[in-house]
Amino acid sequence: MDENQQTLLNTQRKITKKSNNGKTIDSQKDDIIEVDNSRTVLKKIATLYAERLMNDICLVVNDTEYPAHRLILCASSDVFEVMLMSPQWSESQESRITLQETPQCAVIFGEFLRYFYTGQIRISHSIVLPIISLADKYNVKDLISLCLNFMQTHIPLAAVQGTLISWLQYSINCGHYEITKGCHDFIKWNIELVSNSSDFANFEVDVLASLARQSSLVIPDEMTLYKCLETWLGYQKQRLKNSSCAADIDIAFKQIVFTVMTAVRFPMMSPRQLAELLLSPLTQKYKEFFVERMAIGMSFHSGQNYKVHEIIKMEENGLLLFEPRLYTVDTCSSLITVENFSGLLSYHTRTLVFSSQSYLADYVGDKSCEWVVDLYPKGVWFKKYFLIVWQGTVEMPEYVIRSVRLSLTCKEPPTDNGSGMGVKIGVLIYGIQDDVEHIVTVKEVVHRFDLNHRVLNLDNIIPFEDLNLKKDSINTSSATTSKYLVGPNKDTLKLHVIISPLNPFK
């Protein structure tokens, strides 16, 4: 008895079936069995392509011939189905069809076509774009899903390998909104990392300008953003030199400079940084434009609020110029880390004390506010206590909150205007994926502290179960590590707490 016969016999012994009236009966009685020999069938279909057997059509891409089968093409692609089955298409009557593909797509067209026969294809960060380009063009829905899933789970790798901006641009143009959001958020929260890649030059001007206008951008300070944009502008100038005539370069480049640099919030730079900008070659070349923008910053820092209000009225999105982003400089932020996270006991706390600036404008001085940050990464435990009320004493039972909590305490809220201190709070949560440490997510809250409201509790800043993964009691080697843990041993929780005063003109 060969292997196939033995498999058939074993299956016959085990399988049951349901009769028409819903009762389960032994399949042996009717000699009905069900077998799965799909692998062999797929192998046969793959052989048709590999050995070029019985093909009835030939696809030609860049002078390379790919013998194929109409049935397989139509079953795999909606586009091929319309092209080859609709009489109004001339291709439906032809046995040889020439396809126009980009050089990048032409190189992998054979692998793309082989997927139709085998359901297998090799995907990497460097070739996923031409693969999904072909899948989109010919509407191969299952392959589109595979590519999108790959991209969604390898965004950090694409960033360090220099393909992320290209992913973003493609997903925007083709309407893959989930990938667009994933790429956009990663860039917004990790723009310094992305700006160091060669792919940064591929940012389209409108997309970059839109990103640069956002208040949720994570950046050390506004000067760092200016330098990132300056680097990008250098790439664009070189591109214009390679593609335009000399007479058009200055006009086109000037427009690009104005478009992206209008998004820079010069009032958020210190007076010293504004003075340093005068030495920049870019600033000197377009002196009138930049001096006007820098003057807005100096008016703010010198307390000339009447000028500021005029600017807000005249300038489109003028209020944003005085809105702090998520700046990670020491004057408004501090890191808090929990090392040896796996050894931390439940309900234990890590505490951080730091100071942040109380005002944005320089003329007010360097007044600061002191904060106490308590982090509860493994839940919050409230012990049993007695509450004294007018009826008597009430016993309150202990209880536990399964939450990753960050508690902020403002020691002495400024009360200059009698309404306390309004702040924007940002909590940057780091993680690791594809061995790339980066900011995974950001929590933003606007809150006002005063003498009667000194404490703010932020719950679920990280999903509790995702951070505190339980080990498999049967197979401990299969235990996974939370994506929110970093460090050499992936056992460190790392957060960055940012506290900035609110825009004073809102």
343 and 373 share one domain? yes
Query: Does residue 193 belong to any structural domain of this protein?
Result: no
Q: Kindly list the distances between the CA atom of residue 87 and the CA atoms of 70, 72, 394, in Å, as whole numbers in the listed order.
A: 14, 19, 84
pLDDT, one tens digit per residue, over 137-170 is 999 999 999 999 999 999 999 999 999 999 999 9
SS (H, E, C) 67-79: EECHHHHHHHCHH
Query: Does residue 452 belong to any structural domain of this protein?
Result: yes
Report how far Cα 452 is from the mean position of its chain's Cα atoms. Answer: 38
Among 226, 410, 415, which residue's Cα sits nearest to residue 325? 226
Q: Please say if the pLDDT value at position 384 is more than 70.
A: no
The domain boundary residue, chosen from 91, 119, 153: 153
CATH number of the domain that residue 452 is part of: 2.60.210.10
User: What is the distance between the alpha carbons of residues 192 and 268, in angstroms, rounded to a whole number?
Assistant: 18
358 and 302 share one domain? no
Do β-strands 326-327 and 218-219 pair in parallel, antiparallel, or remain unpaired?
parallel
Q: Which residues pair with 421 in a beta bridge?
A: 449
The domain boundary residue, chosen from 291, 307, 327: 327
Strand, helix or coil for residue 426: strand
Q: Kindly list the distances between the CA atom of residue 481 and the CA atoms of 103, 463, 472, 474, in Å, as whole numbers in the listed order.
A: 41, 14, 12, 17
Give, as one character, the DSSP assignment of residue 338. Answer: E
Report how far Cα 289 is from the mean position of its chain's Cα atoms. Answer: 33
Burial 282-303 (b: 16+ CB within 10 A, else e): bbeebeebbeebbebbbbbbee
- Count structural domains, the chain: 3
Query: Does residue 177 belong to any structural domain of this protein?
Result: no
139: containing domain? 28-153
pLDDT, one tens digit per residue, over 326-377 is 999 999 999 999 999 999 999 999 999 999 998 999 988 888 999 999 999 9
Among 344, 495, 497, which residue's Cα sits nearest to residue 430? 495
465 and 432 share one domain? yes
178 in Cβ contact with 152 (< 8 Å): yes
Q: What is the pLDDT of residue 19?
A: 41
Report if pTM > 0.95: no
